[in-house]
A = this chain, B = another copy of it.
Amino acid sequence: MKIPPVKGTRDFYPQDMAVRNWIIDGWKKVSVRNGFEEYDGPIFEYLKMFQLKSGDEIVEQLFSLKDRGGRDLAIRPEITPTLARMVNQKINSLPRPIKWFSVPRLCRAERPQRGRLREFFQWNIDIIGVEDGLKKNLADAEVIFTTVDYLRKVGLTDKDIKVKISSREVLANYLRSLDVPEDKLEPIYVVLDKKNKLPSETFEQMLGEQVPDNKIVNKIVDFMSVDSIPQLEELVKIKSESGEYSAYLDIKMVLDNLTMMGIKDFCVYDPSIVRGLAYYTGIVFEVHDTAGELRAICGGGRYDNLLRDFGGPAIPATGMGMGDCVLEILLREKGLLKPEPRELDYFVACIGFIGEEAWRIVAKLRSMGYSAAFSYKAGNLSKQLKEASAQKAEKCIIIGQEEIEEGKIKVKDMATGQQKKIDEDKFFEELKSESK
């Protein structure tokens, strides 16, 4: 009986796993050097947790299930609700700011397509509990810096990618200044988020469904095409007085901070960034390939109300999520995927049927921390040496009847071909002193 894998999932054979590990190890290393600590939650939570704040798109894509008591659960489509739950649970004992990262496995019942699968890994970094206004900008900047720190580390330059930065609050204030009613804001975000993926006619038509007044539609379209800070300043200065000055200053300050951190050339203001998730409240950003051929490589932003919405105190937060699928496509196209090659310290070969001696030596090497292999095929010596080369062995230990009788082993350096005979005891004594 042959059963296929489920569409939209991946099998990670060793060479695929090496790529996945290389990507995830890079995420972890950069998180740690940027001061984030790792956390994780369960693969499933109560269904309602994901229905609460994530927005319709995510809710439609949930893999839901029931436990044996009939309670509704769902496999996590994102980890931010879990983060909010976990932080709320221990809010009084956690020193702030909370700087955490995670690399959760996530599932979404999407139509599988290029860069979008039903199961993927997503790097998440979040800074929670920075309260002061200017420092909030710094936290947003640190999230963006950490993101770029990774992308730059794997070899992407400001010619390859751009961080596009905007603010939900600036947008909200602008929409309010046009007398757009409060309950229309969220549906409008969903339309605006699709702007770059739709033909402009379709986009304007969809916007028109939310905003009946054509003049206002045009004003929103104009706002969405502003692409410099001075232009934006002009627009929001003229417009109204209900608070958008400070929101506009957030963008300016975050960009200033990023300049200070040395990644100015990666960052631009771009009002078309709105983000699909419902819970963003301030600065939002996405990283895109400059060629514009792929979906967003990652996205994030400020979500100051989420902890409160999950029953906790009102504590500001900001974060970023980067999936592995689009990233892997981009890095592969640019020739930047560099998984660690397999390494083998010792291959133990034997002449004649004295396998037991080989296993004894292999076991001893492994116990001391060295990687060691032998052949299950028991071919002749040259076949075993071929196997050793195929496994990229650094050194080969060769034993025959003669060596066993003398208590010696032959050690062959596979790079130079040099070979020496040495007392087995002495060999292990020397190894011990450089033991792993």
Q: Which residues of B have CB within 8 Å of A145?
A: 363, 366
Q: Does A394 sit within 8 A of B, measured CB to CB?
A: no
Listed residue (A9, A42, A64, A141) with the most chain B CB atoms within 10 angstroms of its CB = A42
Please give the count of copies of this chain that the complex contains.
2
A14–B376 CB distance below 8 A:
no
How many of chain A's residues touch chain B, expressed as a range? Answer: 35 or more
A39–B63 CB distance below 8 A:
no
Contact with B along A24-39 (1 / 0, CB 8 A): 0000001011110111
Contact with B along A81-122 (1 / 0, CB 8 A): 010011011100000010010000101010000000001000
A33–B371 CB distance below 8 A:
yes
Q: Which residues of B have CB within 8 Å of A64?
A: 65
Q: Which residues of B have CB within 8 Å of A86?
A: 11, 13
Q: Which residues of B have CB within 8 Å of A9?
A: 41-44
Please report which residues of chain A, range 117-156, place their CB below 8 angstroms from some CB of chain B when the two chains form the complex: 119, 130, 135, 138-139, 141-142, 145, 149, 152
Q: Does A422 sit within 8 A of B, measured CB to CB?
A: no
B33–A17 CB distance below 8 A:
no
Option from B34, B359, B372 in Cβ contact (under 8 Å) with A33: B372
Q: Does A45 sit within 8 A of B, measured CB to CB?
A: yes
Q: Does A421 sit within 8 A of B, measured CB to CB?
A: no
Option from B3, B17, B32, B366 in Cβ contact (under 8 Å) with A38: B17
Q: Does A21 sit within 8 A of B, measured CB to CB?
A: yes
Q: Does A279 sit within 8 A of B, measured CB to CB?
A: no
Q: Does A10 sit within 8 A of B, measured CB to CB?
A: yes
Q: Does A223 sit within 8 A of B, measured CB to CB?
A: no
A interface, CB within 8 angstroms of B: 1-6, 9-14, 17-18, 20-21, 30, 32-35, 37-46, 48-49, 52, 63-65, 67-68, 71, 73, 75, 82, 85-86, 88-90, 97, 100, 105, 107, 109, 119, 130, 135, 138-139, 141-142, 145, 149, 152, 257, 260-263, 309-312, 342, 344-345, 355-356, 359-360, 363-364, 366-367, 369-373, 376, 378
Give 6 pairs: A residue, B residue, CB < 8 Å, sorted on A: A14-B38, A33-B370, A35-B371, A138-B376, A257-B359, A261-B360
